[in-house]
Amino acid sequence: MKALSQRRRHPLAAIALLLLGLLVTGGLYAVAGTVNEAKAQTTTYSAQDVEEGEKLFVANCATCHGIGAVGAPEGAHGNQAGPSLVGVGAAAVDFQVGTGRMPMQMNGPQAQVKPVQFNDEQTRQLSAYVASLGAGPAVPSEEVLDASQGDPAKGGELFRVNCAMCHNAAAAGGALTRGKFAPGLDGVSEKHIYEAMVTGPQNMPVFNDANVTPEGKRDIIAFLKSIETEGSPGGAELGSLGPVAEGLFIWTAGLGIIIGFTIWLTQRSS
């Protein structure tokens, strides 16, 4: 017992305990993250999906993103430099291609939504190819996309804390710097909302499962779908730009009414 007591007083004992605590905490964090990620993953891809996806990538994407998706230098082939896609995951491809943002129609501050160029099967194959290049966020499963299982009230809280500063409290979107913008979320599919959160497209930050759990993301989706169906209970939305825009509208309209009424009175008196 005396020898054990002496070891506890050793100057390195505190450091050893600290390292042990960090190892245990890191291990538990890794296990929890793996469990959460597994909840959101969908089925794996076949070798044929990967092979067909590579053919599509070489024909349509490699001029900007390079052969092997390792990225292309600026100005290569007369195009804007495309970033490396190694490790972005299938969800990033499914979002960008599935919303028509990619391939880009023209260079600009950010990719614009436009009619999709690839069908669902081709989008899946492109996703499979990019997913084969390195680990990344997977296309979410139906379970975490079911808005009926989410809590809109909790989702509203999460949205206001994490998203409203860019997308507006009513999810109507808003302007950012240098010609960029946060798009409105009305009509965006549940899958693409989830994929945007886990991949962080354009200027959007990444909300991984450690920041917002899969259940939390489902709650956010439930909130967004609830405000889509409820509409504007207060009357005209006025662009959902907030109290400043609404106050300016009321001031301008009210002032116009007063001026019109004044003109009408003076005309009657003359």
Within a domain: 88: yes
Asked if residue 144 and residue 110 are part of one domain, the reply reads no
Q: Is the peptide bond before 103 cis (omega within 30 degrees of 0)?
A: yes
pLDDT at 12: 59
Asked if residue 148 and residue 124 are part of one domain, the reply reads no
Other beta carbons within 10 Å of 21: 10
Share of the chain residues as helix, strand and coil, in percent rounded to the nearest 5: 60, 0, 40
pLDDT at 16: 63
d(CA 60, CA 196): 22
**108: containing domain:** 45-139
Asked if residue 129 and residue 61 are part of one domain, the reply reads yes
Measure CA of the first residue to CA of the last residue in the chain; give whole Å: 111
Asked if residue 70 and residue 101 are part of one domain, the reply reads yes
What are the residues facing 265 on neighbouring strands?
Answer: none
d(CA 208, CA 210): 5
Within a domain: 87: yes
Asked if residue 130 and residue 209 are part of one domain, the reply reads no
Total structural domains within the chain: 2
CB 172 within 8 A of CB 241: yes
Asked if residue 128 and residue 58 are part of one domain, the reply reads yes
Mark the binding-site residues for heme c, compressed into ranges.
Answer: 61, 64-65, 163, 166-167
Asked if residue 157 and residue 128 are part of one domain, the reply reads no
Asked if residue 167 and residue 88 are part of one domain, the reply reads no
Mark the binding-site residues, compressed into ranges.
Answer: 61, 64-65, 163, 166-167
Within a domain: 90: yes
Ranges of residues in the chain with a pLDDT under 70 are 1-22, 24-43, 74-80, 231-246, 268-270
Q: Give tens-digit pLDDT for 178-194.
A: 889 999 999 999 999 99
Out of 71, 106, 139, pick the residue that ends a domain: 139
Please enumerate in sequence order all residues whose Cβ is within 8 A of that of 64, keeping only pairs 6 or more positions apart, or say none: 72, 76, 77, 79, 80, 81, 82, 103, 104
Within a domain: 245: no
Identify the three-state secondary structure at position 214.
helix
- Tell me, what CATH number does 57's domain have? 1.10.760.10
Within a domain: 67: yes
pLDDT at 235: 57
